[in-house]
Structure 1
Amino acid sequence: MPALPVPAPLRRTAARAADVLRRAAERCQGSPRILDLLAALSCLALMGLDLPGLASADNSLNGLTAALVLAAGAGTLLLRRRLPWVPYLTALLFIGWLHELTLIQFALYSLGRFRGRRAAVLAVAGYLLYALLLFHLPGWPAMRAETFSGFLGLVVPIGVLAAAVGIAAFRQDLVRELDARRSQDAVHSAVEAERTSVARDVHDFVGRELTLLTVRSEVLAVRARGKPYEKDFDELAETARRAHLVLNDIIVHRGERAATPGVEGLPGLAEESGRAGSPVRLSVDPAVAELSPLRQAAVYRVVQECLTNAAKHAPGEVIEVAIAAEGPRLRITVSNALPERLPRRAPVSAGSGTASMAERVRGLGGTLTAVRCPEGYRVEATLPRG
């Protein structure tokens, strides 16, 4: 049965509604949910133009029922990003029941846009075979193509063009994402270049001071031969020499070999801290030895920075270090009491050690908290084991 003519006021109202929706879409390009809602409303507005014909062509529908059915079908477009096959199957139902071709255009576009070329081609093939079958069955409306050539000129372009536009939008999304990643890589490269420049400056200036400290300590050790504090000067010279070697290892020879030890180096850290006057009680879960080298290096660096901070701000206090594997997470806890008397001189500190620790831990998907509590100072970090 041919569709009833659409009244002019209804056409003007639908045109104005489509224009309003288009302007709203331009203002809300950054909100996917709003865009999906606008797509559903646009589809409903276009299908509303066929409402008089649908109500008269199917005796089971009146004007209100047809409007509700079309609204339900258009509502499936709200799922087009996560479940684009739902509006597609609904559109096929509408073709077989109501011979409505508007929803299938939105559904094919959504499949091409959010699932790519393969899904879109498969969906177009299914749509064409299904429509061709319905065309050869009794009841296909003349307004949707009275002859086979009319079918090929109307039904086929509707599906092919909608899917093609969706595929083009999908590729454009990929291009934009690639450009964003390239920009991000450029920023990372710039940051790495700046870090390299800073590292060279650190090596040049700090390395010079460490060299002078090493030489001066060795001279003082020679002058103190046979005296009780000769050993202290020897240890100071050895510490400065080792610090210079570590500086070279990190900055000059970075990348040539792994400079950061794993959990096997924690006892050495504890022993070194004890010699410096801050004894360490170390507890390490045996399962920690099974972690990847990257995570073991992170554990080592966190403990090393915590021991350094404790030696600066709470010299002489006992430091508790506990590393435990708790299910899929690894927990690092370092705590120490605070001294009753503050040091006569404030320790030299740039305040970036804790921030550096937190950045390293977050980079591996973990968390880090450092708080001052009545018992003293406590640092707690968690890392994923896998």
Structure 2
Amino acid sequence: MHVKPVASALHWAVATGRRFAECWAGSPRALDVLTALGCLGLMSLDLPGLAAADNSLNGPLAACVLAAGCSTLLLRRRMPWLSFLAALLFIGWLHELTLIQFALYSVGRYRGRRAGILATLAYVAFALVMFLLPGWPEPRVETLSAFLSLVVPIGVLASAVGIAAYRHDLVAELTARRAESAVLHAVQEERTSVARDVHDFVGRELTLLTVRSEVLSVRSRRTAYAKDFEELADTARRAHLVLNDIIVQRGERAATPGVDGLPALAEESGRAGSPVRLVLDPDAHALSPLRQAAVYRVVQECLTNAAKHARGETIEVSVAADGPHVRIAVSNVLPDRTPGRAPVSAGSGTASMAERVRSLGGTLTATRTDGSYLVVATLPRG
């Protein structure tokens, strides 16, 4: 009878717990708190022995001392040496070796290899002095080999794990920066490509304008309009020279193809193993050359991505010129990936594609929906 309310309450509890876990899982402060609590939990096992071994400490006071030492781990990212000094104090006063493991890990993790090695050497030297002095807890082992087999490995292992984590963080950061650099480079390349297209398309029109103006100036040589046509021709030539000066990295690359190149692009994708269903609105042929180049670039990059992540699946490509905008939609099914290496992708192609669309005042979105991947770009027809 009460199954439904219980199930609803259970579902709410699970959802709340999941949200709480997601909120705290990636929080550095939460990890620091959990680390401090974990250290305190391990050290609390020694409370009866500490109170018995040191007459100045009773149970509650010993708990407060251990809690104060563990609280230094809350600052382990900014001040790991504070935890290290507190751990040395615990070794000399209470012969407690738990905190030093967390402290050495923190020094190695957040200060690197050199600091980790120095902290480990300092710990071994200090612990050796404490081990040789009278007062080490019973049963006392007088041999140096016992010290080397127990006390030393504790610090060396904790420090080594921290240094390894530090190196892992460096590699992850380097990988992220390389990916960011690749995206920035791709965006810059796309801007250069847009500039080249501007040069090719606009430069051609300026050349035609110059030639036409010169022809008209010759034809109207004996009229009052001859001087005006000559000035118009000179203005077009100067504009062409300025365009050449601005775009200095033109090179020998041809302009990006327009919508006329889409059938050949779809054919090439089909030969590569990814068939394409292309629906091309005839009105798209009336777009300006720059917008046609953007359409071609979007479809080209989408086909490349589909070949990487959904090889063999049919790709649906639609270019519709309806109203004041042009809509490019490319979708493909995402297959269930079999175990193996994922395709290498830094996202730079998508960034350059989006840069091309934004440069013309358009928008681009890429979404996963129901096992498929959909890219939609919208451009003003102009």
**76, 79, 89: which is aligned to 2:75?**
79
Counterparts of 1:142-181 in structure 2, within 5 Å, are 142=138, 145=141, 147-181=143-177
Report the Cα distance in structure 2 between the residues aligned to 1:172 and 1:104, rounded to whole angstroms: 22
Alpha-carbon spacing, 1:160–1:208, altered in 2? closer, same or farther (3 Å) = same
Deviation sequence 1:281-300 (CA, Å, 0-9, x none): xxxxxxxxxxxxxxxxxxxx
Q: Which amino acid aligns with 1:202?
A: V
| Aligned-partner SS, 2:247 | helix
1:185 aligns to 2:150 (yes or no): no
Structure 1 segments unaligned to the other structure (5+ residues): 1-23, 256-349, 356-386
Q: Tell me the residue number matched to 1:105.
A: 101
Is the CA contact (8 Å cut-off) linking 1:217 and 1:237 kept in structure 2?
yes
Q: CA deviation at 1:195?
A: 3.0
**240, 244, 249: which is aligned to 2:245?**
249
**32, 35, 38: which is aligned to 1:36?**
32
**36, 48, 53: which is aligned to 1:57?**
53
Report the Cα distance in structure 1 between the residues aligned to 2:116 and 2:83, rounded to whole angstroms: 13
**204, 221, 225: which is aligned to 1:208?**
204
Is the CA contact (8 Å cut-off) linking 1:108 and 1:162 kept in structure 2?
yes
Report the Cα distance in structure 2 between the residues aligned to 1:97 and 1:26, rounded to whole angstroms: 40
Q: Which amino acid aligns with 1:71?
A: A
Is the CA contact (8 Å cut-off) linking 1:144 and 1:154 kept in structure 2?
no
Alpha-carbon spacing, 1:63–1:209, altered in 2? closer, same or farther (3 Å) = same
Report the Cα distance in structure 2 between the residues aligned to 1:40 and 1:227, rounded to whole angstroms: 94
Q: CA deviation at 1:117?
A: 0.6
| Aligned-partner SS, 1:141 | coil
TM-score w.r.t. the length of structure 2 is 0.56
Deviation sequence 1:241-264 (CA, Å, 0-9, x none): 232223223334469xxxxxxxxx
Alpha-carbon spacing, 1:115–1:49, altered in 2? closer, same or farther (3 Å) = same
Q: CA deviation at 1:225?
A: 5.5
Report the Cα distance in structure 1 between the residues aligned to 2:60 and 2:225, rounded to whole angstroms: 99
Q: CA deviation at 1:68?
A: 1.2
Counterparts of 1:296-307 in structure 2, within 5 Å, are none
1:121 aligns to 2:117 (yes or no): yes
Is the CA contact (8 Å cut-off) linking 1:210 and 1:243 kept in structure 2?
yes
Q: CA deviation at 1:231?
A: 5.7
Is the CA contact (8 Å cut-off) linking 1:145 and 1:154 kept in structure 2?
no
Q: Tell me the residue number matched to 1:45.
A: 41
Counterparts of 1:210-225 in structure 2, within 5 Å, are 210-222=206-218
Q: CA deviation at 1:27?
A: 7.9
Q: Which amino acid aligns with 1:246?
A: V
Report the Cα distance in structure 2 between the residues aligned to 1:226 and 1:233, rounded to whole angstroms: 12
Q: Which amino acid aligns with 1:173?
A: D
Deviation sequence 1:143-174 (CA, Å, 0-9, x none): 68554222111110010000000111111111
Q: Tell me the residue number matched to 1:305.
A: none
Alpha-carbon spacing, 1:351–1:226, altered in 2? closer, same or farther (3 Å) = farther
1:69 aligns to 2:54 (yes or no): no
Q: Tell me the residue number matched to 1:361.
A: none
Is the CA contact (8 Å cut-off) linking 1:25 and 1:35 kept in structure 2?
no
Q: CA deviation at 1:64?
A: 1.3
Q: Which amino acid aligns with 2:200?
A: D
Q: Which amino acid aligns with 1:91?
A: A
Q: Which has the higher contact order (CA 8 A, sep 6+)?
A: 2
Q: Tell me the residue number matched to 1:302.
A: none
Mean CA deviation greater in 89-98 or 157-166: 89-98
Deviation sequence 1:345-373 (CA, Å, 0-9, x none): xxxxx996999xxxxxxxxxxxxxxxxxx
Q: Which amino acid aligns with 2:173?
A: E
Report the Cα distance in structure 2 between the residues aligned to 1:96 and 1:233, rounded to whole angstroms: 97
Is the CA contact (8 Å cut-off) linking 1:55 and 1:62 kept in structure 2?
yes
Q: CA deviation at 1:57?
A: 1.4
Report the Cα distance in structure 2 between the residues aligned to 1:144 and 1:238, rounded to whole angstroms: 101
**168, 192, 197: which is aligned to 2:193?**
197
TM-score w.r.t. the length of structure 1 is 0.55
Mean CA deviation greater in 161-170 or 133-142: 133-142
Mean CA deviation greater in 28-37 or 195-204: 195-204
Report the Cα distance in structure 2 between the residues aligned to 1:128 and 1:80, rounded to whole angstroms: 21
Identity of aligned residues (%): 72
Is the CA contact (8 Å cut-off) linking 1:144 and 1:151 kept in structure 2?
no
Is the CA contact (8 Å cut-off) linking 1:39 and 1:77 kept in structure 2?
yes
Q: CA deviation at 1:49?
A: 0.9
**132, 136, 140: which is aligned to 1:136?**
132
